[in-house]
Amino acid sequence: MKKHAPSLDFDVERARRSLVSLQAAIPADAFTAPILGERRGGSGVVIGESGLVLTIGYLVTEAEEIWLTDWRGHVTQATPLAIDQATGFGLVQPLGDLGLPRLPFGSSANAHVDDDVVMISGGEGGIVKAEIVARREFAGPWEYLLEDAIFIAPAHPFWGGAGLLSHRGELIGIGSLHLEQDGESDAPSDLNMVVPIDLLKESLDGLVRTGRPPGPARPWLGVYCAEHHGRIVVAGAVDGGPGESAGLRRGDVIDAIADLPVRESAALYRKLWSLGPAGIDAPLSVERDGKLLKIAVKTADRTLLLKKPRLQ
């Protein structure tokens, strides 16, 4: 990492006024409640003149109540407007006038390794001056893939939904995860993974109008995958999900999909999504106890398991 102080060409304190803290309440019987909790907290960024707030989707998935708090301490109730399962973005609509400026979009395509950036969370406005340390693929075990995620260091302690700003003060991404990595002694070990803002631009109008991204839903296996020594291992299956219903078990090794050998989760997801929309059969070759099995999984649309936003 560079040793000099980040070079910033904007008023960070002024930009902080476009951030809100976010608290969400999720019903106990919601699909995601056992995994993500019934109380979730993070941040959001005002991106629209009407007060439209962009956040990371897991904070508001299946939320029945959302409260936004700005830098002045003012609290406004809000409702979930849209979730994009493919990117991980979430949109929230305040039910009152926030009276906050929106942050302009920048270009995440023009954000490069070694660039100076700032990650800002909402509420009292935690600010971390950082730099981009990597741009690379990220595959999540919950059937999630970003082709070109942004990784920054040092990590922000309150990363979920925080805004990543370029040195010009433009929004280039939304904080998603905190990651720890092993590597060279001088490489940062604590990182934030950030979803690039360019992924939102083409789908934003559709998300606002319909609550979901355009096009058919992706097929979903309902399994959690882990990579181990160059193999894809089923770490778990969603109760009643497509994979469990087809007979997939914890410890199964996915060797191929539609006759394509796969050794990484990213390759599995790409091939799965190329087969067609949700509802198609995904033919898997699975190794179990030294035997090779053929298992056809009837995929599903994962959003059908989620509670729909309730208008306040």
Alpha helix ranges (H) inside the chain: 12-15, 33-36, 198-201, 204-210, 242-246, 265-274
- Going by pLDDT thresholds of 50, 70 and 90, the confidence category of residue 211 is confident
- Cα maximum dimension of the chain: 62
Share of the chain above pLDDT 90, in %: 87
154-191: pLDDT as tens digits = 999 999 999 999 999 999 999 999 998 766 556 678 99
Q: Closest by alpha carbon to 18, among 64, 42, 53?
A: 53
Residue 234, both tokens: 């089923």
State the chain's mean pLDDT as an integer. 93
pTM of the predicted model as reported, rounded to 2 decimal places: 0.93
Distance between CA 74 and CA 198 in Å, rounded?
30
- Going by pLDDT thresholds of 50, 70 and 90, the confidence category of residue 124 is confident
According to CATH, the topology of domain 223-305 is: Pdz3 Domain (2.30.42)
72-116: pLDDT as tens digits = 999 999 999 999 999 999 999 999 999 999 999 999 999 999 999
Distance between CA 130 and CA 59 in Å, rounded?
24
Q: Closest by alpha carbon to 22, among 93, 82, 99, 117?
A: 93
Q: Is the pLDDT of residue 312 over 50?
A: no
Same fold, 1-215 and 223-305: no
According to CATH, the topology of domain 1-215 is: Thrombin, subunit H (2.40.10)
- Going by pLDDT thresholds of 50, 70 and 90, the confidence category of residue 309 is low
229-241: pLDDT as tens digits = 999 999 999 999 9
Q: Closest by alpha carbon to 306, among 16, 8, 26?
A: 26
DSSP line for 15-35: HGGGEEEEEEE--TTSTTHHH
Give the distance, in angstroms, between the CA of residue 77 and the centroid of all CA atoms in the same chain.
23
Residue ranges of the domains in the chain? 1-215, 223-305
Q: Closest by alpha carbon to 102, among 112, 113, 94?
A: 94
